[in-house]
Structure 1
Amino acid sequence: MTDPARPQGTDPTAPGRPQAAPEGEPLAGSLSGWAVPTPHPGVAPPAPPGPGGTPPTSTPGWGPLPAAPPPPPRDALRRPSRVDAVPGTQFGVVYLDVPAVTSGLAVGALVAGVVSILVSLLVLCVGVTGADWDGVWAAGAFTVLGALSGAGAVGAGLLGLRQIHRPLPPPAVRFTGRGLAWAGVGCGGAGMLFSLAGLGLALLVALA
């Protein structure tokens, strides 16, 4: 005898077929008395789309989605300075423009020149306050230090100027710092002159 509530030709025990729930008890995972597919215990259900149909920013069980990579810096977008074609091919070697670098010799010349001036001021102070030959010896020792610092500043400044003005083909590094180099040369020369002036003043005070 067939069940009038069940269509003919269907097997109530066949898998995937909708099954009617017993009286008073709905089937597990069913909706309105009909069986619905339930997710596997080890697989998370897909996340519903966000408001407006946008995809979700995270998936349950997998964590947040990776963020988009940042844009390249402005320094990376440089124009090519030279392009050399490879013989026999349609390719070429592109040399990008290299940013200029401050010359280390120019910076060192300025630092040495400032040190030379400070030492020369110390020589002047010792020359004025020292009224005997001990002051002259002390002024002479500081004069040697100031003269060496000033000479080093002048030499480093001139080498820095030569490095800055020397033309080099790309992709060689270009150097800047012409003002720093000239300032180092000036400070070094002034430090040597002041040191010698302080030593002469110390001699005059000792002889007077």
Structure 2
Amino acid sequence: MTVPPPPQVPYPPAVPPPPPSGRWRPERVDAMPGTEFGLVQLRVEPITSGLAIGSLIAGIGSILASLLVLCFGLAGSASGWGGWVSGAFTLLSVLVGGGAIALGAVARRQVRTSGRTGHVRFTGAGLGMSGIVCGAAGAGIALLSLALTLVLQISV
């Protein structure tokens, strides 16, 4: 009586993917030849760039400071203190606007160069561009408001 050979198992055995959890999701599972193990490559979720968010916040702050330049300049031009106060807020608005422009440029570069295999991928290029535009608009409005304030103060 002959004994039949044992059933053949495909070599290497198929490696089941790990169970999906809330945060880590496998992107690819590679079987390791000669073993029963596999190499799991996890998907790295994209992250919104903090620099882009900071750029947008600074740009909005620059616009708000430029509106203070206009308000204080118009309110104090007749009394003579409008030029000083609006000049101080103009300096603040231009500095914050310049910071928004710089942060936006760095954030756009960070988004453009991210995403290589195995590295974190950043998003937020639009936020960075919005920060650049808001920072430039805030600085421009502040400088024009200061010029208007000085013209009004000199003419009174």
8 Å contact from structure 2 (residues 26, 40) kept in 1: no
- Give 1:92-131 correspondences, 5 Å limit: 93-130=39-76, 131=78
Question: Amino acid of the residue matched to residue 117 of structure 1?
Answer: I
Which one of the candidate residues 92, 96, 100 is aligned to 1:149?
Answer: 96
Q: Does 1:73 align with 2:13?
A: no
| CA apart distance, 1:170 | 2.0
Please report the RMSD computed on the Cα atoms of aligned residues, expressed in angstroms: 2.4
8 Å contact from structure 2 (residues 97, 138) kept in 1: yes
In the TM superposition, what whole-angstrom CA distance separates every residue of 1:11-53 from its partner, at most 9, and x where no partner exists?
A: xxxxxxxxxxxxxxxxxxxxxxxxxxxxxxxxxxxxxxxxxxx
| Residue equivalent to 2:129 | 182
Q: Aligned equivalents of 1:177 and 1:168: distance in 2?
A: 13
8 Å contact from structure 2 (residues 60, 134) kept in 1: yes
SS at match of 2:41: strand
| CA apart distance, 1:73 | 3.1
| CA apart distance, 1:79 | 1.2
| Residue equivalent to 1:164 | 111
| CA apart distance, 1:95 | 3.0
Question: Amino acid of the residue matched to residue 79 of structure 1?
Answer: E
Q: Aligned equivalents of 2:20 and 2:27: distance in 1?
A: 15
SS at match of 1:79: strand
> What TM-score do you get using the length of structure 2 for normalisation?
0.76
Q: Quick one: percent identity of the two aligned structures?
A: 43
8 Å contact from structure 1 (residues 95, 170) kept in 2: no
Q: Aligned equivalents of 2:41 and 2:80: distance in 1?
A: 65
Higher mean C-alpha deviation, range 121-130 or range 107-116? 121-130
Q: Aligned equivalents of 1:151 and 1:78: distance in 2?
A: 42
Higher mean C-alpha deviation, range 193-202 or range 130-139? 130-139
Question: Amino acid of the residue matched to residue 151 of structure 1?
Answer: G
Higher relative contact order (CA 8 A, sep 6+): 2
In the TM superposition, what whole-angstrom CA distance separates every residue of 1:45-97 from its partner, at most 9, and x where no partner exists?
A: xxxxxxxxxxxxxxxxxxxxxxxxxx7435433313x96x89xx767754322
Structure 1, unmatched stretches of 5+, are 1-70
Q: Does 1:173 align with 2:120?
A: yes
8 Å contact from structure 2 (residues 26, 42) kept in 1: yes
| Residue equivalent to 1:191 | 138
Q: Aligned equivalents of 1:167 and 1:114: distance in 2?
A: 26
| CA apart distance, 1:184 | 0.7
8 Å contact from structure 1 (residues 116, 149) kept in 2: yes
Give 1 or 2 for the bigger CA radius of gyration: 1
Structure 2, unmatched stretches of 5+, are 1-18
